[in-house]
Structure 1
Amino acid sequence: MLSLVLFSVFSVVSGAAIERRDPVPPGYVASPYYPSPHGGWVSDWSESYRKASLLVSNMTLAEKTNLTAGSGIFMGRCVGNTGSALRVGIPQLCLQDGPLGLRNSDHNTAFPAGITIGATWDKDLMRRRGVAIGEEFRGKGVNIHLGPSVGPLGRKPRGGRNWEGFGADPVLQAYGGALSIEGIQSVGVVATIKHLVANEQEMYRMYSLVQPGISSNLDDRTLHELYLWPFAEGVRSGVGAVMIAYNAVNGSACAQNSYLINGILKDELGFQGFVMSDWLAQISGVASSLAGLDLSMPGDINQVPLFGNSYWMYEYSRAILNGSVPVDRLDDSVTRILAAYFQMGQDQNYPRPNFDTNTQNAEGPLYPGALISPQGVVNEFVDVQGNHAEVAREVARDAITLLKNNNNVLPLPRNSSLKVFGTDAEKNPDGINSCTDQGCNKGTLGMGWGSGSARYPYMDSPIDGFKARGARYQFFNTDSFPSNSNPSPSDTAVVFVSADSGENYITVENNPGDRTSANLNLWHNGDRLIRDVAAQYANVVVVVHTVGPVLMEEWHDLPSVKAIVFAHLPGQEAGASLMEVLYGDVSPSGHLPYTVAKTEDDYGQSVKLVGFQLGQPQDTFTEGLYIDYRYFHKNSITPRYAFGHGLSYTSFSLSSATITAGIPLTITPPTRPAKGETPAYSTAIPPPSEAYWPENFNRIWRYLYSWLEKSDADAAARAANSTTKYPYPAGYSNVQKPGPASGGAQGGNPALFDVAYDISVTITNTGSRSGKAVAQLYVQFPSSSFDTPILQLRDFDKTSTLAPGASETVSLRVTRKDLSVWDVVSQNWIIPNLGGDYGIWIGDSSDNLHLRCGTVAGSCAYNQTSPV
């Protein structure tokens, strides 16, 4: 594929034809959608766009192109650093990973991962975690936080980065993402929802010299009803940035997929912020600009970075001067970036970066990627932790999911005699941050590996927790059963096991991101360790730190395995949070954010990892809407533990349920609002002098600049007047569209989010211990001409801590969109059976639903037979 690299570089300069894509299976289409819609037509963003457009109208060409790309990999303190426009007061913008906390920094909190907060099913906690993360990023001077992650959705249980998101359901994922965004942006940090879209495995994700990135092939209905759902909610929350994925969708690379960026994101979903590439995911210059990409990160050419080459920066200046890219496309991109900057108030007393992602030293090179770099202070070791450990501990604790508790072996009596087994119980002996980006599985597993990781300020391990409790325990720091444990009938054995995964650029124990070598099994002989312990001890508690579902059939039904606890990925707070649950200070209140199967085949064949293929690997989503619990329900497969399952030390009952109709429903939503006005941009090509190098400028080798040599700029301007024009892609137009019927506001037609039904239910603690309850609401569609899953999660809520006998009323809602399907013919959301009886099922897991409210009768009934 070296020809592709050279071809792409050449095409920016000369206007060569766009290379043909590899074919995808029939029926999977990425239709052209042009032009890129101008932003600014949503009233919530009007003032920010006014400020931004005024600034853009006074900027030179080089200043504008300097803000649309990074200055190069390793060319600044942050993982991504835009150019600046200092003449008009815009500094370099700092972009930094990641979804669970500051990556490669210091004096920061290592929060529990996304999958862990998803397991809490706690909306308030989701937002508070977002606020705490935002405060830390702001305190470090980060303008743009590269999170949250809502893609992958978790379609593939072995996918490497599922743990960065919130669960294998679009609604759970949507709440996790949207509430995180609201929290992060509440303190002035731009959040970035990622990765758009359908990046469901790590292997073969990137375009390279030898192979195009994997193509995720999915139909339009599946795209809308599953994978886009959380992005729509993130846009509705006002997210400032969207990061596209490495892979292709229906054969078109996400970085230049005009249907995805222009058509769906910017027009249908009304996204007002800016679209950035994932790092080195951009594979073309002009094509990606026309398709709607606004910011190239980190700015380098993808296959051969660190040589000062870029698809944009100076090449973008050239492309404007020679007429390849319309001026209003660049102006809209810059306006979008600056509008997000103003929307978050970053023009008012926003701190500059005070850390360096490239080194832990106080001083070092200012541009580590340069061959020769000036030196200076790069780390100021600002402590941004505040009281965030309390939020992190609360998340870790309230996510802990009790799957099994025979004979009420938990909670543990205070004076229990414990034998503790497994290296997962204690810190990494090599050091808690000894592995780059947590790229190893040694000691307590608090997070997966890759760019979504963070350095631990400390690790409160389970052994630390036992020590702090003054527990009577003996610890065997081995993953093989020791010969000297001396079992006693009074002992309770606690076995710690784990399963890890991460990002593809690191391979851990033969797992290249995705769980290929390990499959869905426990790591480090965990299954054998549990069996061996169970053969010697009568009471065994298994604690699992895991990125996702694991198989447990080898040991689950052994008589001595009395309790199973999923502690997920607790971050730095693995110890005290677990002790609070094991010893009964609090009742466990976590619930599974995915289904745990009995065999991997139970998830279906099409969701397995795609192996090597000649040409572009194809991953065709033939299962459509049927992933995770939807697939199990459709095929009448009994899982080991259902989606949403979680036990407590107490019990709860539901009563006084009511359903109240909201807005009157119609088959299609009311007509969308028209777009508001957008900034007016000149289409005149600027003079080449706006891109000339400044005189006596001290250049840093490999640093990316937006200026051109005078001869190059003048030649580009002459080319604009030649008869040879850039061969624009099929379907190209530069006439702005009014927008699709399904759009109209951030997130889509605002009528989609009108409440169709309010549901109220009282939850009472009927047990003898205090605890929190989770109410999960699923919708069962009536029969229609559309195939729909038997049950689909649509809302949830979690109570406060209820004392024995105490009650709390929770309020749930069902929106118009919740009752709709995506009609691929009309390209709109429709209610498929307007007069039909929608079943609103409420319970504490997807397989324990016995309260049904009917939309036709307008009443609720208890002790109903669950539809699955």
Structure 2
Amino acid sequence: MSAPHSFSIFSLILLSLSSCASSIDVPAGYVAAPYYPAPHGGWTSDWTESYRKASLLVSNMTLAEKTNVTAGTGIFMGRCVGNTGSATRVEFPSLCLQDGPLGIRNSDHNTAFPAGITVGATFDKNLMYARGVALGEEFRGKGINIHLGPSVGPLGRRPRGGRNWEGFGSDPVLQAFGGARTIEGIQSVGVIATIKHLIANEQEMYRMYNLAQPGISSNLDDRTLHELYLWPFAEGVRSGVGAVMMAYNAVNGSACSQNSYLINNILKDELGFQGFVMSDWLAQISGVASSLSGLDMSMPGDIHTIPLLGSSYWMYEYSRSILNGSVPVDRLNDAVTRILATWFQLGQDQDYPKPNFDTNTLDAEGPLYPGSLFSPTGIVNEFVDVQGNHADVARDIARDAITLLKNTNGILPLSKTAKLKVFGTDAEKNPDGINSCTDMGCDKGTLGMGWGSGSARYPYLDSPIDALKARGANFTFFNTDSFPSNSNPAASDIALVFVNADSGENYITVENNPGDRTSANLNLWHNGDKLVQDVAAKYTNVIVIVHTVGPILLEAWHDLPAVKSVLFAHLPGQEAGESLMQILFGDVSPSGHLPYTIPTSEDNYPDSLDLIGFELGQPQDTFTEGLYVDYRHFHKANITPRYAFGHGLSYTTFSFTNATITPVTPLTSTPPARPAKGTPPSYPTAIPAAAEAYWPAEAKTYRIWRYLYSWLEKADADAAAADLAAGKKYPYPPGYTTTQKPGPPAGGAQGGNPALFDTAYTVSLRVTNTGNATGRAVAQLYVQFPPGLAVDTPAVQLRDFAKTGPLAPGASQTLQLRLTRKDLSVWDVAAQNWLVPSVAGDYGVWIGEAVDRLGVRCGSATGGCVEKAFSL
């Protein structure tokens, strides 16, 4: 790790390759700046007691105990997808880390919730929180300490990106509320949430470092980083998230898992993050470098090149690097303290259950360490049912996310006696079995989620066909994606056509799509366009229901006279059926809104949003579009999309009236000075005796092959101490120092300077149901910066949203929205701070039902609100 004898030649060659290639082709101006040392945690008052408790344990731990809790014990070396080492002498257990964002991966008796993109489409902060609570209850019920979710990165910059569906949408504020409310829900029951992936991992291909090439480098400027991609992470940290997972890719030429600028400067100093930072699985590519750069936990512990060899960059190598002086003792102490403090912060020291499932098998008994060929066996699954009443939450989300895009002549809702013809395999469950494809790595039957580590097993799948049967609907189903010759169209028939578009994580390729939609592009899968066209040629009333991971092209059939209605049901999870029926038959009026823009062509997007193909050396992905992603880009390019961000129809209509804007906190160009850091725990900095890392004699008798341990052979530990005594020095990176910094001006608390979140204005408006059906409205608030600024800003930007309860015809509800100082600021690269560019300027505060349906404008300077349509 730190000295030549701690590496294999193989690893040295690889690291040399990665180091040399990491900055070769990074464009000028984008190279990541170094930032050292890693800031100590424990300086915010809301974590003081947890750090105090943690420091008492850390002060009593040996070197091997400390290094043991900073890394996983190896892939497939325990019940969970990640299992840390323990320190049983001080009563600190092995921690269980488990995927994923929409439910417990590879488990049983769990709920398969709607995906993040579906939650975003609800625009409902209460449902975001409720889903978080339900997730937390299930993870705790299975004995999982650390939930590997939510995901707010990728942002969805790249429409064909494979994992966009795990997050909440293509706007940073929508992502921020989705992530923060989910974190608050998960952690309310004592489970540690993990916000991921920091940062700018916007495509799946070439994301990982390997023998052939380094991972793709996402190159973005500092303002774009702060105003788009970092925004949801800042809100997650502000919500007290316990863990942050770094991305696989590089940013500005430096791998995220050892990017000192991102971890030390941005995350731990500017955002004041008090929890611990972990690598994604096998994303750690170095030992000392990653430690110095602020990584606190290596997952799953193995080296990234060829796991399952018992090799690690940390564990025993971390012990060696402390003994030979390569890593300062206080860096290890801080990493361990952060992990233990988070455990205390979430109350996991009090009656927290142990894991009662096994991610590797559904059998009751099996190997305790499946990665070892010589593992002891025992009970690994207790089949604990953690579902509770969570199906209700899942169904509510799936229903309230359904987005009605088109409804010609009010064809929806359907009458109970409607004669239906149903087409498309997406309407019914996978005939091979709902969990027949590992990690949902196929597109067969109803699409409830994408594929990869963000998936979960279904306890059951309520398909649309199941729900039609349960309703006693009058329907005939043709379970094919080709138009059948025997459907016998009649004038009174209404045709329901089910189509989908899938994507997922890069380790699985589905129908020639390696995670990203490389083969499918933004088209429907399984010849869905032709199916709709063929049905529309024979039937006069066609309703298209789409299950999709993100934007798709509708142009091939959208305007056909027979296509009367289009609904996006997104990714509904296990509750795909009844949730849809409640909308189709009018039990509930649709209230979902698009969490992204739907284009008329892929040419609507700038070239920089295309997927990056193979490149010699490190692939370079330079974000030349800057702030102009999704609707921001469409405004700047003056392109009218097929459907705008936020679009969503209802069976009723709403008016927005009586709007008022009220100043709360006076603005200044620069925010008030940040609070000074509190005092974190301190420890002796003397390097411990080599004996603290010796293998205990009794431990060698039960050593598990390939399992990762933190102990060293006596000769190795003594040799490391001898290297220190001989004055051998590790080649520290440029800018390296051990002197702690006071912190940047934009910092001061979790999430940044607390003054950034002061409410600058409150906005109130009355929403009235002016139609004939009960329904819920979403008010979306966008900010338009004053004209004539020296700094470029998008036309409008989402800053808040609120959703009414069910409103009967004629009923009203008053909604409250807010604007913070940060909402009205821009990131000043020179000042490295958030600045209000025009304190006296008139900010346009626009409110409406979508970004292209803004009908109320309030002025920050005028103090008044008028009903007025927004135009570019």
TM bucket by the smaller chain?
over 0.9
- List per-residue Cα deviations over 1:839-860 (Å, max 9, x = no partner): 0000000000010000111010
Post-superposition offset of 1:17: 12
Pick one of 530, 536, 539 that aligns with 2:538: 536
Q: Which residue number corresponds to residue 799 of structure 2?
A: 794
Q: SS at the partner of 2:200?
A: coil
Q: Which residue number corresponds to residue 814 of structure 1?
A: 819
Post-superposition offset of 1:11: 10
Gaps of 5+ in 2: none
Q: Which residue number corresponds to residue 863 of structure 2?
A: 858
Post-superposition offset of 1:21: 2.9
TM-score (normalizing by structure 1): 0.98
Distance in 1 of aligned mates of 2:77 and 2:13: 26
Q: SS at the partner of 1:653?
A: strand
Does 2:781 match 1:780? no
Cα pair 1:103 1:453 within 8 Å, conserved: yes
Post-superposition offset of 1:16: 13
1:558/1:282 Cα in 2 relative to 1: closer, same or farther (>3 Å)? same
Post-superposition offset of 1:9: 4.4
- List per-residue Cα deviations over 1:612-635 (Å, max 9, x = no partner): 111000000000000000000011
Matches within 5 A, 1:511-522: 511-522=513-524
Post-superposition offset of 1:603: 1.8
Distance in 2 of aligned mates of 1:760 and 1:21: 50
Pick one of 723, 726, 730 that aligns with 1:726: 730
Q: Which amino acid aligns with 1:736?
A: Q
Q: Which amino acid aligns with 1:83?
A: G
Moved over 6 A (4+): 15-18
Q: Which residue number corresponds to residue 364 of structure 2?
A: 362
Q: Which amino acid aligns with 1:711?
A: A
Q: Which amino acid aligns with 1:735?
A: T
Distance in 2 of aligned mates of 1:598 and 1:171: 25
Q: Which amino acid aligns with 2:820?
A: T
Matches within 5 A, 1:111-122: 111-122=113-124
- List per-residue Cα deviations over 1:510-544 (Å, max 9, x = no partner): 00000000000000000000000000000000000
Matches within 5 A, 1:560-579: 560-579=562-581
Post-superposition offset of 1:10: 5.0
Cα pair 1:9 1:285 within 8 Å, conserved: no
Post-superposition offset of 1:685: 0.2
Post-superposition offset of 1:722: 1.7
1:11/1:344 Cα in 2 relative to 1: closer, same or farther (>3 Å)? farther
Does 2:638 match 1:649? no
Does 2:806 match 1:805? no
Post-superposition offset of 1:696: 2.7
Cα pair 2:545 2:568 within 8 Å, conserved: yes
Pick one of 760, 763, 769 that aligns with 2:773: 769
Q: SS at the partner of 1:535?
A: helix
- List per-residue Cα deviations over 1:325-370 (Å, max 9, x = no partner): 0000000000000011000000000000000000000000000000
Q: CA RMSD in A?
A: 1.5
Q: Which residue number corresponds to residue 337 of structure 1?
A: 339
Matches within 5 A, 1:42-441: 42-441=44-443
Q: Which amino acid aligns with 2:160?
A: R
Q: Which residue number corresponds to residue 845 of structure 1?
A: 850
1:497/1:326 Cα in 2 relative to 1: closer, same or farther (>3 Å)? same
Pick one of 523, 526, 529 that aligns with 1:524: 526
1:472/1:462 Cα in 2 relative to 1: closer, same or farther (>3 Å)? same
Distance in 1 of aligned mates of 2:651 and 2:674: 49
Q: Which amino acid aligns with 1:713?
A: A
Q: Which amino acid aligns with 2:759?
A: V
- List per-residue Cα deviations over 1:733-767 (Å, max 9, x = no partner): 00000000000000000000000000000100011
Cα pair 1:650 1:771 within 8 Å, conserved: yes
Cα pair 2:161 2:202 within 8 Å, conserved: yes
Post-superposition offset of 1:371: 1.3
Post-superposition offset of 1:7: 6.0
Distance in 2 of aligned mates of 1:17 and 1:489: 65
Distance in 2 of aligned mates of 1:79 and 1:555: 44
Distance in 2 of aligned mates of 1:82 and 1:865: 56
Post-superposition offset of 1:12: 13
Q: SS at the partner of 1:298?
A: coil
Q: Which residue number corresponds to residue 675 of structure 1?
A: 677
Distance in 2 of aligned mates of 1:259 and 1:682: 27
Cα pair 2:853 2:869 within 8 Å, conserved: no
Pick one of 825, 831, 834 that aligns with 1:826: 831
Cα pair 2:302 2:312 within 8 Å, conserved: yes
1:668/1:8 Cα in 2 relative to 1: closer, same or farther (>3 Å)? farther
Post-superposition offset of 1:601: 1.2
TM-score (normalizing by structure 2): 0.98
Cα pair 1:589 1:646 within 8 Å, conserved: yes
Q: SS at the partner of 1:467?
A: helix
Distance in 1 of aligned mates of 2:655 and 2:773: 14
Distance in 2 of aligned mates of 1:780 and 1:394: 33
1:6/1:556 Cα in 2 relative to 1: closer, same or farther (>3 Å)? farther
- List per-residue Cα deviations over 1:125-153 (Å, max 9, x = no partner): 00000000000000000000000000000
Q: Which amino acid aligns with 2:511?
A: E
Does 2:755 match 1:754? no
Question: % of aligned pairs identical?
Answer: 76
- List per-residue Cα deviations over 1:445-480 (Å, max 9, x = no partner): 000000000000000000011001100000000000
Q: SS at the partner of 2:574?
A: coil
Q: Which amino acid aligns with 2:819?
A: V
Q: Which amino acid aligns with 2:811?
A: A
Matches within 5 A, 1:438-477: 438-477=440-479
Post-superposition offset of 1:720: 1.0
Q: SS at the partner of 1:465?
A: helix
Distance in 2 of aligned mates of 1:813 and 1:280: 41
Deviates more, 1:691-700 or 1:469-478: 691-700
Q: Which residue number corresponds to residue 736 of structure 1?
A: 740
Deviates more, 1:690-699 or 1:626-635: 690-699
Cα pair 1:12 1:285 within 8 Å, conserved: no
Distance in 1 of aligned mates of 2:421 and 2:605: 35
- List per-residue Cα deviations over 1:76-120 (Å, max 9, x = no partner): 000000000000001110000000000000000000000000000
Distance in 2 of aligned mates of 1:5 and 1:469: 65
Does 2:717 match 1:713? yes
Post-superposition offset of 1:827: 0.5
Distance in 1 of aligned mates of 2:406 and 2:533: 16
Cα pair 2:21 2:214 within 8 Å, conserved: no
- List per-residue Cα deviations over 1:420-466 (Å, max 9, x = no partner): 00000000000000000000000000000000000000000000110
Post-superposition offset of 1:285: 0.1
- List per-residue Cα deviations over 1:228-274 (Å, max 9, x = no partner): 00000000000000000000000000000000000000000000000
Q: Which amino acid aligns with 2:807?
A: L
Distance in 1 of aligned mates of 2:673 and 2:142: 45
Post-superposition offset of 1:656: 1.1
Q: SS at the partner of 2:404?
A: strand
1:53/1:11 Cα in 2 relative to 1: closer, same or farther (>3 Å)? farther
- List per-residue Cα deviations over 1:638-661 (Å, max 9, x = no partner): 000000000000000011110000
Q: SS at the partner of 2:421?
A: strand
Q: Which residue number corresponds to residue 23 of structure 2?
A: 22
